Amino acid sequence: MSDDKMPEATGPLSISIPEPPTRPGDAPDFSYIEVPKAGAVDCPPVDTKPEDMRDLAYSIVRVLSRKGEAVGPWAEFLGDDLNDESLLRGLKDMMKTRVFDARMLTAQRQGKTSFYTQCLGEEAIATGFQRMMRKGDMNFPTYRQQGLLIADGCSMFDMICQIYSNEKDNLDGHQLPCLYSFKDHGFFSISGNLGTQFVQAVGWAMGSAISGDDKISAAWIGDGSTAETDFHSGMLFASVYQPPVVLNIVNNQWAISSFNGLAGGRNAPFAARAHGYGFPSLRVDGNDYLAVLAASKWATERARRNLGPTLIEWVTYRVAAHSTSDDPSAYRPKEESDAWPLGDPLERLKLHLIKKGAWSEERHTQAMAEIESEVIAVQKEAEKYGTLNRGKGPDPEKMFEGVYKEMPDHLVRQRLEFEA
């Protein structure tokens, strides 16, 4: 460029450092989330061309109205799946997940485990999604999808023994609490490294499809972790190979202390990212159990019909602390969770069922008491085999096992040294 064509200098440049609208002491402000009326968003046929349903990435699929009614095209899409029996089961799955979390949180405070991650306020997503998975399918979850296991009927005894790292821990004490592995429940071994499993889920689905199998997979990632390279790698492979995978982003607004704007989620919805890769996406009210069922059905159906990947952004709120090592009052307003515009998933489904005459406050109270005693009983049973701070725990030598299929000589020597 010659000098005479140079535009005039425009003063010092600067970068943008995203900050959430509110911090501790401020009044909560969710004005950045536009909440459409329940039933307002279209439900296109699953084989619609991605470019003809881009708007789904920018609105929020909702089924339950404020009054607790199931309305709109996504409710219709659920068809036979929308029945009292199924919804009551969903309600109980969520209740169980919540009670389980509360008990385990207390157990951590008592030193029975080192670490725990609750999914308080996010229960509908995993418990609802799992209803659309079939035996042999595979989830690649994060530490916040215990609802998948609960909804699949995984033994809470086994889950608690893993959390306690006790002598019945199915992972022999190798792995951190909550980073379960339950292959029989289509639940892949959870990594502590964020994002790594997102692309693996895509690869698993590719494996199934290359083999001509009918199994599908589901990837899971948090809003903060969509920043990781592996998220983008997964999106790319999903786009290129069109495998039977559902890609789930649980947008609970927060990573640890950083809000989802730091993952780019306030410039455009996370759901919109699929359109850069040319595949469809849904943005869904994650606190609406019926919307979760409907969106999960839609996306898994696409996968099963070999129509390729679907991205789902579940809009929700992390009511709990990030983990037992975290205190959110240091970085967000205390009252923020009360101000959350999408409400509580459990209360919303309960209201719906009561409205329909399929449930009542009395039955709810009774069911809650039953679930509590069930979880307490299982917990007691698990504690017979020890907790992290009591009992003998998994055999110490088990740490040498499972590094390789067959133990190489150098490890055999180290194990002998250990025994000596």
Ligand X SMILES: Cc1ncc(C[n+]2csc(CCOP(=O)(O)OP(=O)(O)O)c2C)c(N)n1
d(CA 395, CA 131): 36
Q: Which two tokens stand for residue 395?
A: 């055999």
Q: The tokens 């202390």 sit on which residue? A: 257
Residue 118 binding Mg ion, by CB under 5 A:
no
DSSP element (H, E) containing 355: helix 345-355
Which residue of 93, 228, 313, 336 would you call a contact of other proteins, by CB under 8 A?
Answer: 228
Partner whose footprint covers residue 384, from Mg ion, other proteins, ligand X, none (CB < 5 to 8 Å by kind): none
Residue 256 binding ligand X, by CB under 6 A:
yes
Which residue's CB is nearer to ligand X, number 226 or number 387? 226
245-251 and 217-222 beta bridge pairing: parallel
Partner whose footprint covers residue 185, from other proteins, Mg ion, ligand X, none (CB < 5 to 8 Å by kind): none
Supply the minimum distance, in Å, between the C-beta of residue 374 and Mg ion: 30
Supply the minimum distance, in Å, between the C-beta of residue 250 and Mg ion: 7
96-104, 175-183, 190-198, 326-334 -> range binding ligand X (CB under 6 A)? 190-198
Residue 277 binding other proteins, by CB under 8 A:
no
Q: Are 290 and 75 in contact (CB under 8 A)?
A: yes
Q: Which residue is nearest to ligand X (CB)?
A: 222
CA angle, 100 as apex, 99 and 102 as ends, to 5°? 65
Which residue of 283, 297, 318, 332 would you call a contact of ligand X, by CB under 6 A?
Answer: 318
Of 244, 177, 238, nearest to 210 by C-alpha is 244
Q: Which two tokens stand for residue 412?
A: 């055999």
d(CA 276, CA 347): 36
Residue 224 binding ligand X, by CB under 6 A:
yes
d(CA 195, CA 140): 10
Total residues at interface with other proteins (CB under 8 A) = 49
Residue 393 binding other proteins, by CB under 8 A:
yes
Which residue of 255, 292, 294, 375 would you call a contact of ligand X, by CB under 6 A?
Answer: 255
Which residue of 127, 165, 252, 324 would you call a contact of Mg ion, by CB under 5 A?
Answer: 252
Total residues at interface with Mg ion (CB under 5 A) = 4
Partner whose footprint covers residue 32, from ligand X, other proteins, Mg ion, none (CB < 5 to 8 Å by kind): none
Q: Are 292 and 124 in contact (CB under 8 A)?
A: yes
Residue 223 binding Mg ion, by CB under 5 A:
yes
Which residue of 24, 36, 136, 192 would you call a contact of ligand X, by CB under 6 A?
Answer: 192
Give the Å distances, CA to CA, from 379 to 97, 104, 110.
14, 9, 14
Residue 131 binding ligand X, by CB under 6 A:
no
3 state DSSP class of 311: strand
Which are the contacts of 59, defined by CB distance < 8 A and separation ≥ 6? 34, 36, 40, 41, 283
Q: The tokens 């009591």 sit on which residue? A: 390
In one-letter notation, the amino acid at residue 412 is: V
Residue 77 binding ligand X, by CB under 6 A:
no
Q: Which two tokens stand for residue 417?
A: 């040294």
d(CA 303, CA 297): 10
Q: Which two tokens stand for residue 274?
A: 């699929």
Site track 251-270 with other proteins (rule: CB under 8 A), x = hit: ----xxxx---xxx------
Which residue of 92, 331, 367, 368 would you call a contact of other proteins, by CB under 8 A?
Answer: 331
Partner whose footprint covers residue 179, from other proteins, ligand X, Mg ion, none (CB < 5 to 8 Å by kind): other proteins
DSSP element (H, E) containing 220: strand 217-222
Residues in contact with Mg ion by the rule CB under 5 A: 222-224, 252
Residues in contact with ligand X by the rule CB under 6 A: 142, 144, 192-194, 222-225, 250, 252, 254-256, 318, 322
Residues in contact with other proteins by the rule CB under 8 A: 14-15, 17, 19, 23, 114-115, 165, 169, 172-177, 179, 191-195, 224-225, 227-230, 255-258, 262-264, 325, 330-331, 388, 393-394, 396, 398-400, 403, 410-411, 414, 418
